[in-house]
Amino acid sequence: MINLGINNIANMEKLNEGHNLYINLTDGRNMKKVLLIQKTFVDQKLIINQRGALNLDEKRSHKNIVFSEINQRKKILTKNLVPGNTVYGEHTITINKFEYRTWDPFRSKLAAAILNGLSSDILSNLKSVLYLGVSTGTTASHVSDIIGESGILFGIEISARSARDFLENVASVRKNIIPEVADSRHPDLYTSVFQKVDMVYCDIAQPDQTRIAIENCNSFLKNSGYLFLVIKAHSIDVLKNPKDVFAEEVKKLTNNFAIEYQINLEPFDKAHSMVIAKKIN
């Protein structure tokens, strides 16, 4: 592995002096200037040689998901379905001629869950996803990367403004995404979802979010498919202890689902938990 050292740069005009090159890499919420030893910088993309400037975790990595360390910080990357295109200012890294996008856990609850212990094995076999509360598409774009060209993601968003941004910036360039402006409380009224799916991903800020997720699963989730439910404690009851809220919401799932993970999303999201449950009935 090539060591990455942090250096203070007084004058950015000196970037190309000698054989050393400095670039900016996002490190959590902080931007640090990182020295890459004898590397090249092309169109703001970091080019990795066969030895690699990253410490890749090959055991955890899959075809479209890569786990690595940059400056001793764990990072997740997804293979970019649309090379050259980014969604929210994330960095792109080329590994073995393929472009990967860094996945920010402060911008994506799914990335936070993975860093906090969720196995990526579940994600590696997905081919179809119903995403409730897709918003502007940060997480959905990475799920799009993971399911690849042969997969399909149905993105449901009730906010017209967020849906417009999602359509213009994400769905219009990603051919495996079908967007729809709709209310997830009424899955029977969807016009774009035409098949059962491997996963229902629910990230909506509603007091009855668990009931909404269950109804969508009853309509569209395959048997043995997975529900990924983001529980937002303060959206359900701002006065209760979040742990009590989490326990109450999980209990609602036990009749029809086997709970496989319950992951606290701190420090990335306060008073949030993600439940991954397998449909059994």
pLDDT, one tens digit per residue, over 178-235 is 999 999 999 999 999 999 999 999 999 899 999 999 999 999 999 999 999 999 989 9
Q: Would you state the pLDDT for residue 73?
A: 78
Closest CA to 30 of 62, 77, 73: 73
Q: Would you state the pLDDT for residue 179?
A: 96
Give one word for 151, left, alpha or beta, with left for phi > 0 and alpha for psi -120 to 50.
beta
Across residues 141-166, what is the average pLDDT?
Answer: 96
Looking at the DSSP bridge assignments, the partners of residue 132 are 156, 202
| Residue 70, both tokens | 């940059």
Residue 155 or 13, more confident: 155
Q: Would you state the pLDDT for residue 279?
A: 95
Q: Would you state the pLDDT for residue 87?
A: 96
Q: Would you state the pLDDT for residue 26?
A: 38
What lies within 8 Å, CB to CB, of 99 at 6+ separation is 45, 79, 80, 83, 84, 92, 93
Q: How many residues in total does the chain contain?
A: 281
- Its pTM stands at 0.80
| Residue 83, both tokens | 């090379």
- Cα separations in angstroms, 54 against 41, 91, 145, 266: 15, 14, 20, 26
Q: How many CB atoms lie within 10 A of CB 167?
A: 18
Write out the CATH class of domain 109-279: alpha beta
Looking at the DSSP bridge assignments, the partners of residue 128 are 152
Q: Would you state the pLDDT for residue 125?
A: 87
Q: Would you state the pLDDT for residue 23?
A: 36
Q: Would you state the pLDDT for residue 103?
A: 95
Residue 104 or 63, more confident: 104
Summarize pLDDT for 157-185 with one digit per residue, the tens.
Answer: 999 999 999 999 999 999 999 999 999 99
- Cα separations in angstroms, 144 against 106, 112, 153, 215: 19, 17, 7, 24
Q: How far apart are CA 125 and CA 147, in angstroms?
A: 8
Q: How far apart are CA 229 and CA 217, in angstroms?
A: 11
What residue ranges of the chain are covered by domains with CATH 3.30.200.20? 5-103
Q: Would you state the pLDDT for residue 256?
A: 92
The SS3 of residue 163 is: helix
Q: How far apart are CA 1 and CA 26, in angstroms?
A: 19
Q: What average pLDDT is seen over the chain? A: 81
Q: How far apart are CA 225 and CA 198, in angstroms?
A: 5
Residues 206, 132 contacting (CB under 8 angstroms): no
Residue 68 in this model has a pLDDT that exceeds 90: no
Residues 128, 195 contacting (CB under 8 angstroms): yes
Q: Would you state the pLDDT for residue 53?
A: 54
Residues 179, 157 contacting (CB under 8 angstroms): yes
What lies within 8 Å, CB to CB, of 25 at 6+ separation is 31, 32, 34, 70, 71, 91
Does the bond joining 267 to the residue before it have cis omega, within 30 degrees of 0?
Answer: yes
| Residue 17, both tokens | 């002096």
Residue 74 or 174, more confident: 174
What residue ranges of the chain are covered by domains with CATH 3.40.50.150? 109-279
Residue 23 or 131, more confident: 131
Q: Which amino acid, 226?
A: Y
Query: Quick one: pLDDT band at residue 40, thresholds 50, 70, 90?
Result: very low
CATH of 5-103, one of 3.40.30.10, 3.60.110.10, 3.30.200.20, 1.10.3720.10: 3.30.200.20
